[in-house]
Amino acid sequence: MKKLLLLLLAAALLCAMGLLPFHAEDAAKLLPVRTVIVTRSGDAYTVDVGAGVRAVGRTLAEALERLREEVSGLVFLPTAEQVVLTEPAAEAAEAVAESEDFRPAAGVCVTPDPAPDAEALSVYLEAHPLRTTVLDLRAALAEGRAPTLPRLVASDGGFRIE
């Protein structure tokens, strides 16, 4: 009985100090993401998650960090269904594979620059899911081979995956 009481007391103390690995968030502040578009201009990466929410950084990791810092609310990247890289940012595929921000099942593709609107892409890619995923990128890099990404192009007022 004393051990249980001590354990509960220790848990309460850790919770009060904020040292437990979980915390509560206000659900109204969550900004779930469906599509992440990564572009590159010069030496700067831009991460666009739709609805005018974007951030810029020298690396993909820095852009993602600024996205979390600068946006009011909590940008929730694990809900992203797809990551779209523009051709100038295609070399960021390795950074996408290494990032813990994206879930392994998220689809990945390349599109010409400028990238289409994130909301329009989300609607199309929801009906036509990408077969290449973040997990496929990780596997290719682990095997020492260059990952091949499908190409998404605008076609006749819509999109097409090559």
Is 16 a member of any domain?
no
CB 85 within 8 A of CB 48: no
Is 4 a member of any domain?
no
d(CA 111, CA 52): 19
Provide the domain limits for residue 132.
Answer: 32-161
Is 13 a member of any domain?
no
Model confidence at 144, pLDDT cuts 50, 70, 90, reads very high
Is 91 a member of any domain?
yes
pLDDT of residue 28: 63
CATH number, domain of 57, equals 3.30.420
For residue 114, say if its preceding peptide bond is cis, omega within 30 degrees of 0.
yes
Mean pLDDT of the chain: 85
Q: Is the pLDDT of residue 140 over 90?
A: yes
Q: Is the pLDDT of residue 123 over 80?
A: yes
Is 24 a member of any domain?
no
Which segments of 2-82 does DSSP mark as H helices, in order? Answer: 2-17, 60-70
Average pLDDT score over residue span 70-92: 86
pTM equals: 0.80
As a whole-number percent, the residues of the chain with pLDDT over 70 amount to: 89
Tens digits of per-residue pLDDT, 17-61?
666 666 566 666 677 888 999 999 989 999 998 888 889 999 999
Question: In a 3-state reduction of DSSP, which class is residue 33?
Answer: coil
Phi-psi region at 63: left, alpha or beta (left = phi > 0; alpha = psi -120 to 50): alpha
**Sequence-separated (6 or more) residues with CB below 8 Å from residue 141:** 94, 97, 98, 147
CB 32 within 8 A of CB 76: yes
pLDDT of residue 81: 92
Q: Is the pLDDT of residue 99 over 80?
A: yes
Is 43 a member of any domain?
yes
The number of domains in the chain is 1
Is 157 a member of any domain?
yes
Nearest to 152 by CA among 40, 127, 19, 25: 127
Q: How far is CA 86 from CA 3, 56, 125, in A?
A: 57, 15, 16
Q: Is the pLDDT of residue 128 over 80?
A: yes
